[in-house]
Every structure is written in structure tokens, then in C-alpha cells.
Amino acid sequence: MNPAVVGSGTQTAVIIAFLVFIGVSLLLCALVGPEGDSVADFYTANRTLTPFQNGLALSGDYISAATMLGTTGIVAMSGYDGFALAFSTVLALGVLLLLARPLRNAGRYTLGDILALRADGAAPRIAAAVVTLAVSLPFLVVQLSGAGSATALLLGLTSAGAQQFCTALIGALMICYTVLGGMKGTSLVQIVKVVLTLGTVLTVSMVVLNHFHWNIDTLLTAAAHGSGQAGGYLHPGAEFGSGAEGRLDFIGLQVAVVLGAGCMPHMIMRVNAAPNGTAARRSTRYAVGMVGAFCLAVAVIGLGAAALVGDRMIGAVNPNGQAALLLLSSGLLGGTGTAGGGALFTAVACAVFVTVLAVVAGITLAAAAALAHDLSAHAVRRGQLSQAKEVRLVRWSVLAVGLAGITMAMAAQGYNVQFLSSLAVAVAASAVLPALVYSLFWNRYNRTGLLWTVYGGLITTVGLQLFSPTVSGSPVALFPHLDFHWFPLQTPALISVPAAFLLGWIGSRRGRHKAAASGPGFSAVQSRILLGTDPDPANQLADAHRLGQVR
């Protein structure tokens, strides 16, 4: 985005708004953060959020900058393919809705708590930590890298150094939010983010519709003309091509998003923050409605960007179209030189900024919890780590994950790393979802099957992605001047998801003679999965105290 598009007065307003939000949100995180050294308080806010509050926070965890900026750009430049992606984004929460009750009943804090139900020992916890980091770190790099570039442009800065500085700044704020606030503080930020973001995109979409006199046909015609694709804009193939490989890429991305986006570790951790399985399902229903409204508004905004800005200007600023929302908002209501236009652009800029901060905080908390709770407290210390020490450890883990994400995001400046978003959801679809489905619903699932599912799905996904056109052999690849790809598809989900389910079945068959010695078996945990009854007496007592049943 050309900084000249935005007047100096609007840039000043954006900076002031950023500073006010940062100051207020940090203060609130410090005030509402964990009061003591309670693991439940830090990981799940003691499950004190109401279903509506948790639904708002779940929506905040789910709506990322990739959805807000990336999907808008794809709609603006590719039409039909963007609409399909927005629909898949909502549909993915439908998958989570089906799993929400058993997930909450079976889980306590992290993904590892669920996987450990079907197998004893350190191996399930280590596998959970590995796959959590494999999902979280790529997604964190994409969010921080894109956030640094977008924030720098919003502030009128264009140099690579300025973008890296903004990346480091956002990463540092992310660490502060998570360390100070834990789940309760990050939930508050997520709730504020959803209210601001949803209100902003709905306002922009209504301004766009009003510009075209609320005539959808006129908007679609103008968008098709502005996209430069005329009749092809409302037909599939603009994003991936109309050939056989393009169709398979399109289907593969939909599969990855639908099956993986709702099963990412930070989403599972958010579901575990609900008081019980019924509340978890209610929270997810609220989230489906809010994300549905958000994606509908994003589709309208994408059409407005194509119609009023045009694909040439959008593509000139960012080939992926991620500047479409900012360019559109800078020209509405008379432009940023007017009071209304300046206020609208400032609101959009703040919504983008808040979206990035909130999402990366949730991802960081989930990754740090995997390191502290699954890897250290259980895999290494065998559950003998005190709560006070675990809380201190998770705070140090937040710092470690945050610094790793900042370093990788700064190193990624100048490279096309957008494929990491699809890689993250593909890993979740290929390694997390099959393990969850088998763990919750298949009575013959065992330790061998679990490990084959998680590691097999992870290795298959990453291996195929490494040799795909997104990494080499393409002008828009990570390494455009190299060519070592042999896998033709951009997203490996069509292969990796069935492979993970198959590996889980084969592994369980091979390991069935060891099942009795490796875990408690399905019958011992079935009541917990169905009813939320924890077989561990210590955990039963802790839950009873929390719910006020024991005094």
C-alpha cells in the first residue's frame, strides 16, 4: 500500500489508536491475569467463562489475519475460489462443533491430555508436543511476518528494517500478553478483538453495499469488470487454474481447511476452557454464527475491492491481494482526507492490528503449554512437577516460543511464506484430526496406532509439502530460483489425510497384542468421553472444588 494514499492526519490517528489499545490491553491483562500459581487458572481461566464469552474468544482464536486479509484478497482477485474458501472457513467450525462435547469431556488442558487417554507413558505426550509445535510455529511465522509488513505500511514505513522492527514489536507484545494474562487475559483480548473486528467488517461491507445501492447484481458485475477476468470471475479456477492439477489443488485446500482449521491445538485448548461438554458445544455454536457473519462480510468486502480498487492496484501493492481491505477502506466515504473516511480507515487499521495480536497470543499459549505441560511436566517429570513450578515453566516457554517465532518471522521477510498457513492446517487435518477421531470413537485404538497416526501424518504432510511447487519450481515459490519439486499439488491434504487414517488403522492392528500393557483401554475412558467423568480421583476432587460441590 502506498503510504501516500493515507494522509498524515490519519496516520497520526492510527498511531494514537495503536498506543491507546496497547496500553489499555496490557493493563487489563495484568489486572485480570492469573492471581496465583494455579495451572487451571493459567491454562483455562479456571473455566469461569460463560458459553457466550467463550464463544466470542473462540471466534477470536479462529479469525486470523490470514482470514481477514488473505481471504478478502482472494475474493477480490479470484472471485469464486475466494467465496469457496470463505465457506470452507465456516464449515471447519462445523467439524469442531461435532467434536466439541467429547473433546471437552475427554480433555483437561492440552492436546496431550486427550491423546494420553489411550496410551500410558511419555510417547503420547511427546507426540502431542511435536505436532503442536509443527502446527503452531509455521502459523505463527506467517502471522508475525504478515503483521510486521501490514503494521509498517499502516504507519507509513516501507523499508525492510522498519518491517522487521514492527515484527519484533508485535512479537514482544504477544509475549507480554501471554505471560501476564494467561488464558484469562488472552480471552479478554480475544473478546475485544471480535467485537471490534466484526463491527468493523460489517460496517465496511454495509458501506460497500450502500455504494451500489444494495444491488448485489450491480456489485457482482462491477467486481467481475474490475477483476479483469470478466466472465471467469464467477467460475472456479482463477486461483489455482482450470486444469486437472488446479482442480485437485482447489479440492485439497478445501479438505485441509475444513478438516484442519477447527482442530488446531489452540482451538482445542480454547474448547477445554469451557466448564463442561454442553457449554463447549454452546460456545462453538456461538462461534459458528459469528464467524459466518464475518466471512459473509469479508466476501462483500472482497467484491467491493475488486469493483472499486481493481486487481491491478491490489496486485501492484501485494501479489497475494492482502492489501485489498486496506486499499478499499482508504477510499471509502470520501477517502482518508475526510472525517468519515479517516475514521473508517483508522477502525480498519486497528482491527487488523488487534486481530494479529490476539491470534498470535493464542497460538503462543498453546505451543508453550505443550512444552511445559506435555513435554516437561508429564513426559519428563512423570506428573511430579508442582503447579507453581509448571506455571513458572510455561511462562519461560512463552518467552522461548515467542523469541523463536520472532526470529523466524524476521528471517522470512522478503520470502513468500504464505504457504505455511495451508501447511499448518494440513498438518492439523492429517495428524491431529485422525488421532482425535480414533481416540474418541474407536475402541481398538492403541499406542502403536496413535504414534503411527501422529508421526505418519506429520511426516507425510511435511515431506510432500517440501517437494511441492510452493517451495521450489515456481515463480511464487519460497525458493523461486531452485527446482527440486516432484509432487505436483500445492497442498498435500488429499494424500496425507487418508494416509494418516490408514496408518492409524494399520498401527493399531499391529500393536493390538500390546494394547493391554500400553494404556487403560477404551472401556476405562468411555464414561469420561461420553459424560465428562474423570476416572482419576484427584481430578474428580479438583473439578468438584471448582464447581462448588465440595466446600
Give the model's confidence band at 542: pLDDT under 50 very low, under 70 low, under 90 confident, else very high: very low
Cell for 217? 447484481
Q: Which residues make Cβ contacts (< 8 Å) with residue 269, sequence separation at least 6?
A: 43, 44, 109, 110, 111, 183, 362, 365, 366, 369
Q: Comparing 134-143, 331-340, 497-506, which segment has the lowest mean pLDDT?
A: 331-340
Does the pLDDT of residue 304 top 60, yes or no? yes
Within 8 A by CB and 6+ apart from 90, the residues are 288, 291, 292, 295
* Structure confidence by residue, pLDDT tens digits, 51-90: 999 999 999 889 887 788 888 988 988 888 888 888 999 9
* 518-538 tens-digit pLDDT: 445 566 677 777 766 554 444
Q: Tell me: the pLDDT tens digits for 161-184?
A: 888 888 888 888 888 888 888 888
Instruction: Return d(Cα 365, Cα 176) in angstroms, integer.
Output: 11
| Cβ contact 323:1 at 8 Å | yes
Give the helix ranges, DSSP H, for 491-536. Answer: 493-510, 515-518, 522-531
Pair 138, 64: CB distance under 8 Å: no
Highest mean pLDDT among 32-46, 314-328, 485-499, 510-524: 485-499
Q: List C-alpha distances in Å: 15 to 25, 113, 395.
A: 15, 42, 29
- The predicted structure's pLDDT at residue 536: 46
Neighbours of 199 (CB within 10 A): 13
Distance of CA 407 to the CA centre of its chain: 20
pLDDT of residue 3: 42
Give the model's pLDDT for residue 182.
86
Query: For 273, what's the count of Cα atoms within 13 Å in the CB-facing half-sphere?
Result: 34
User: In whole angstroms, what is the distance from residue 285 CA to residue 54 CA?
Assistant: 11
**What integer pLDDT is reported at residue 315 of this predicted model?**
80
pTM over 0.85: yes
Residue 339 pLDDT greater than 80, yes or no: no
Q: HSE of 320 in the Cβ direction (CA atoms, 13 Å)?
A: 16
**pLDDT over 50 at 14, yes or no:** yes
CA-CA distance, 73 to 1, in Å (whole number)? 13
pLDDT at 352: 84
Residue 479: helix, strand or coil by DSSP? strand
pLDDT digits (tens, 9 = 90+) for 354-365: 887 788 888 999
Q: Report in angstroms the alpha-carbon separations of 119 from 127, 316, 468.
A: 11, 53, 34
Smallest CA-to-CA distance from 136 within 376, 406, 352, 428 is with: 428
Of 100-109, 193-202, 521-530, the least confident:
521-530
Residue 121 is given by DSSP the state: S
459-501 pLDDT, tens digit per residue, is 999 999 999 999 998 888 888 888 898 999 889 999 999 999 9
Q: Is 37 exposed, middle or buried (0-12, 13-18, 19+ CB in 10 A)?
A: middle
Residue 99 near residue 92 (C-beta atoms within 8 A): no
Write the single-letter amino acid at 407.
Answer: T
Domains and their CATH numbers in the chain:
12-412+520-544 (1.20.1730.10)
pLDDT for 537 equals 43
| Number of other residues whose CB lies within 10 A of the CB of residue 537 | 8
Helix (H, G, I), strand (E, B) or coil at 6: coil
Residue 326 predicted with pLDDT over 80: yes
In degrees and rounded to multiples of 5, residue 13 shows phi and psi of -65, -40
| Cell 508436543, located at residue | 129
C-alpha–C-alpha distance, residues 504 and 454, integer Å: 8
Query: Strand ranges (DSSP E) for 39-187?
Result: none
The residue that leads in pLDDT, 382 or 501, is: 501
Mean pLDDT of the chain: 84
What pLDDT sits at residue 452? 95
List the beta strands (DSSP E) in 190-322. Answer: none
Spatial separation of the C-alpha atoms in residues 152 and 135, rounded to whole Å: 26
What's the confidence (pLDDT) of residue 290?
94
Highest mean pLDDT pick, 113-122, 323-332, 362-371, 528-537? 362-371
Q: Which residue has the higher pLDDT, 453 or 165?
A: 453
Residue of higher predicted confidence among 237 and 198:
198
Helices 123-154 and 339-369 cross at an angle (nearest 10°) of: 160
DSSP letter for 271, please. Answer: H
Task: Give me the percent of the chain exceeding a pLDDT of 70.
Answer: 90
8 pLDDT tier (thresholds 50, 70, 90) = low
Q: What is the pLDDT at residue 513?
A: 57
Q: What is the pLDDT of residue 2?
A: 46
- The Cα angle at residue 58 between residues 52 and 62, in degrees rounded to 5: 145
146 pLDDT tier (thresholds 50, 70, 90) = confident
What pLDDT does 545 receive?
45
